[in-house]
Structure 1
Amino acid sequence: MRKIRELLRLKYELRRSHREIATSLGIANSTVSDYARRAAAAGFTWPLPEGLDDAALEAALFPPLPPSRVPRPEPNWEHVHRELQRHKGVTLQLLWLEYLTAHPNGYRYSRFCERYRAWRGRIDVVMRQVYRAGEKAFVDYAGPKFEVVDRKTGEVRGVMVFVGVLGASNHTFADVTRSRSLPDWTMSHVRMFEFWGGVPELVIPDNEKAAVRQASRYEPDLNPTYRELATHYGTTVLPARPRAPRDKAKAEAAVQHVERWIMAPLRNQTFFSLGELREAIAPLLAALNERPFKKTAGSRRSWFEDLDRPALKPLPAERYEYAEWRKARVNIDYHIQVAHALYSVPHPLARCEVDVRITAQTVEIFHKHRRVAAHLRVHGKGGYATDPAHMPASHRAHAGWTPSRLIAWGRRTGSHTAAFVEQLLDSRPHPEQGYRSCLGLKELLRAYGAERLEAACRRALDIGTLSYKSVKSILSTGLDQADDQQYTLSLPAQHAHIRGPGYYTTPQNGKES
């Protein structure tokens, strides 16, 4: 459903073509047309009605098909094409018969051939690149790296060079970051838009790992954080095709100019921080954009002022705040774990999968595209953020797991286990925050047996530590089986390393102390 929402935004708000939408979302043109047709039939444009969740949207767009209108299965045209190229004796008729064996209700032979030829006619199309003002920006990383030296340790680290260029004017931007990670990739885009003072209609990246997720269960195409950046700035991300250098020729040329006119002149200088390096790059970047064209009048700067700057979209009122998206499953204590801290969600969502948006200050939790919880970020291990409104009445209606049930389980194991569980639950601000530790004790029972768990809980109570990790440590080191007296330390009255009072009155080496 997230792709359908993005499709409607690109089609109705940004007026993108079906081909551009298909490339941006990583789906077929026919799929884009089908989704757009279904949305039009249901009366949806953009923005969608407030409060419309994924379940309602899916029900409106994909009603059950009547038996007479079940679509015919589409052949795998790439497989058909490869088979025709691979074996000399393979014909379309043979492949159609194989297709019909697997799908008896499939296309007839004439329609099969017609659809294959239409598909084949699209795979080798070469489009002449025409760049409109303010339309496209191309981004990529340079191959060579700058080096930054740590003042304290002398360690030399390579830093990446990010390059962006506008299609119409060739106006170029360059930035340096410590890595090609998602945060660095995203914030380089933010600085690029601020450098130009506006936003292009399209951003064309290479298949960078931070931009395009090649293998992901939940987002097989564009990274969710990168997509959110595009939504914030009102632009569209249109990744270049793999192994298609014609799609990003502007980026390749811009990278070459940055390497030649910025990186090469700075090759013999030593830099101790990214700030110093950016200050050194700034005048060389300005000179590159002021350099006159060889085959036409003007420069990148003058063309930018005449063409791209007036056509760029204005920057949003607020700067983009970096956020990461993750998947999480709600535990039985109606909390999710994010970076070693726990955050509550409404208790009916226990065991459900949710989307989590994480910024430096907040953690937002979404279920089926609807925000169900928001918390201030908790920093440090073992922290809790629990909203009382998320709790079941009297802490007793959460999937059958209650303090009384856990204490009763402890009594069946032994009196010390019961006392440990009861004190553990009482030590938490909310009893549910101790559920996970109690469930960990149940796992230790299966691993070590009731007798050893009872002994470990007794020792944990004696030393005053109330945590699952302490009991696990006692069991793994065998302290539960050791005699208490074995660990009572006492020093002898006489010992080689004990001087005693006589040392200071008895002559040592012929001298008086």
Structure 2
Amino acid sequence: MRRLSMKKIKDVLRLRFITNISYRQISRALNTPSSTAADYCKRFEITNYKIDEFLTLDEDEIYQLLFPEKSLPKTYKTRPIPNVEYIHKEIAKKGVTFELLWQEYKEQYPDGYGCSQFKEYYYKYKKRLNPSMRQTYIPGEKMFVDYSGLTVPIVDLSTGEFIKAQIFVSVLGLSGYTYVHATASQKVEDFIKSHVKAFEFYEGVPKILVPDNLKSAIISNNKKGIVFNDNYAELSRHYNFAIEPARVRKPQDKAKAEQGVQGIQRWILAVFRNKTFFNVDEINEAISPLLDIYNNKIIKRIGKSRTYLFEENEKKFLEVLPANRFIYKELKIASVNIDYHVELNRSFYSVPFKYLKEKVEIKYSTTLVEIYYKSKLIATHPRLYKINDSSTIKEHMPLNHQYQNEKMNPQRLISWGRNIGVEAKEFVEKRLDEAQYPVKAYRTLIAILSLAKLYGKIELNLALAYALKIDAKSVKSIESILSKKLYLVAANNVVKSNVFNNHENIRGSDYYK
């Protein structure tokens, strides 16, 4: 069995033991064989860990727990197969759930299959049925999302031009209860914001989301597998739902979303055809009362409204919202510099010095920066926006740097530079003069002067002389000069130039006087 990535292993366990969906659903959501998902789940069960605690462990610990040196023997028992035809007939009845049917099955067969396997037998049966048959939806299981092809124009007051507001639509599978949200674009940040608003509108989260292969959710969906957008995958982990994109050329997979889009186009967007809007907030304010009317309309073939079906049959089956709202974050992979800081948009953030030169993952929002190593959070900082600004946590420093930082002042740094060489002293003085706040230059200068321990004072002094000529300032630049011995190349060029100009066969300027 080919080992899954750590993110996918955690997703398998999260979807199975927190979201409580079947191996078949996990297989479709993560493009992983159901047998592989089942194997990882069985390995987890043997560890006797609670799922929340297990997911906080670092990667090495998880691998050791899931893959011990000796594998445990597997034993299987023959069990009575569920009556799938009876299940199909009963599950369509109002109020009947898989949990109820499974409990009845277990009362008849105490040694029978678990609930997930019970469902899996039914889904295999259902797959063989005529695909044109009416879809059966389980309460609180699925939410379908799509954008309306019909947009709403916004007038840009600064230019007078029209901008097309995008209309996000989400529909719950059983009740058809609908949410609508206008955004400036279909970009990932707006797409995710609409999801967060939808969950808060429903006051809960479904087990499975079905997007229509939108680029903001699905990067690719083909024979090679499904690749999810990283931010959309993070959203699914935060709210503990599975992603099950609609299959290509399978209209029944997205029928509910298309019905919802058609409905809101007729009852909401058509009302806006002669109205003028100047921003998306105005559109959303106008949507709200019309959405209430739409959801409260009586569905003729059922005799109930979407709101009634939601409140009575679906809301209680949604998963509880997490304590914290999801915050959209950008992602960057970076290497930890020799001064145990990482760079993000020309600002710098510290990490514990033991991660020196390691690759880390930076997740950042407009207010917060989080730094991860092998999926483990190792540092958190407020977001900085000034160029060359830095956020340094004292505990991230080696002990000798902590001491130096506490005791440091410009005179100490200049004296330290003088001890290395004339050019080193000049370099320190210049950087202190250039710094708007000298104390903010301390960290960089301490890291640069500390390179003398690694390369020697003479080499560092030569490197800083060269740095002054090319105006190199960062720790990374100085270390590059030292490691590549660029100061020697420059020195050799000077020597060659002097030798050439002083050769005895070269006529000087006096010759022509």
| TM-score over 0.5 for the pair | yes
Q: Give distance in 1, aligned partners of 2:138 and 2:153.
A: 37
Alignment partner of 1:433 is 2:444: yes
Distance 1:144 1:380, change over 3 A: farther
Question: After the TM superposition, which residues 304-319 of structure 1 pair with which residues of structure 2 at under 5 Å, given as runs?
Answer: 304-319=310-325
How far off its partner does 1:148 sit? Answer: 0.8
* Alignment-derived partner of residue 352 in structure 1: 358
Distance 1:232 1:275, change over 3 A: same
Distance 1:164 1:330, change over 3 A: same
Tell me which amino acid in the other structure corresponds to 2:386: G
Q: Please, which of 36, 39, 48 is the counterpart of residue 31 of structure 1?
A: 36
Distance 1:386 1:145, change over 3 A: same
Alignment partner of 1:419 is 2:426: yes
Distance 1:456 1:323, change over 3 A: closer
Q: Please, which of 230, 236, 243 is the counterpart of residue 237 of structure 1?
A: 243
Q: Please, which of 261, 273, 278 is the counterpart of residue 267 of structure 2?
A: 261
Alignment partner of 1:373 is 2:379: yes
Structure 1 range deviating more: 36-45 or 376-385 = 36-45
Alignment partner of 1:59 is 2:70: no
How far off its partner does 1:236 sit? Answer: 3.0
Q: Give distance in 2, aligned partners of 1:21 and 1:313.
A: 17
Q: SS at the partner of 1:147?
A: strand
Q: Please, which of 175, 186, 194 is the counterpart of residue 169 of structure 1?
A: 175
* Alignment-derived partner of residue 6 in structure 1: 11
How far off its partner does 1:259 sit? Answer: 2.1
Q: Give distance in 2, aligned partners of 1:429 and 1:254.
A: 56
* Cα deviation code 1:243-302 (max 9, x no counterpart): 433222111221122222222221222111111111222232222222332333122222
How far off its partner does 1:359 sit? Answer: 2.9
Q: Please, which of 185, 194, 214 is the counterpart of residue 179 of structure 1?
A: 185
Tell me which amino acid in the other structure corresponds to 2:258: E
Distance 1:196 1:466, change over 3 A: closer
Report if the CA contact (8 A) 2:177-2:295 is conserved: yes
Q: Give distance in 1, aligned partners of 2:264 and 2:145.
A: 13
Distance 1:220 1:390, change over 3 A: farther
Q: Give distance in 1, aligned partners of 2:27 and 2:369.
A: 31
With normalisation by structure 2, the TM-score equals: 0.66
Q: Please, which of 52, 55, 68 is the counterpart of residue 47 of structure 1?
A: 52
Q: Give distance in 2, aligned partners of 1:170 and 1:31.
A: 34
Report if the CA contact (8 A) 2:350-2:391 is conserved: yes
* Cα deviation code 1:327-352 (max 9, x no counterpart): 22212221112233110101121111
The alignment's C-alpha RMSD in Å is 4.1
Q: Give distance in 1, aligned partners of 2:146 and 2:379.
A: 37
Question: After the TM superposition, which residues 76-95 of structure 1 pair with which residues of structure 2 at under 5 Å, given as runs?
Answer: none
* Cα deviation code 1:202-246 (max 9, x no counterpart): 22112222223439xxx9733343333334334333333344332
* Alignment-derived partner of residue 393 in structure 1: 399
Identity of aligned residues (%): 36
Q: Please, which of 250, 254, 258 is the counterpart of residue 252 of structure 1?
A: 258
* Cα deviation code 1:27-50 (max 9, x no counterpart): 222321222233234445513448
Distance 1:335 1:291, change over 3 A: same
Question: After the TM superposition, which residues 203-352 of structure 1 pair with which residues of structure 2 at under 5 Å, given as runs?
Answer: 203-214=209-220, 221-352=227-358
Distance 1:249 1:409, change over 3 A: farther
Unaligned runs of 5+ in 1: 67-120, 398-402, 439-449, 472-513
Unaligned runs of 5+ in 2: 1-5, 72-124, 404-412, 450-460, 479-513
How far off its partner does 1:165 sit? Answer: 0.4
Tell me which amino acid in the other structure corresponds to 2:444: Q
Report if the CA contact (8 A) 1:424-1:467 is conserved: no
Question: After the TM superposition, which residues 141-156 of structure 1 pair with which residues of structure 2 at under 5 Å, given as runs?
Answer: 141-156=147-162
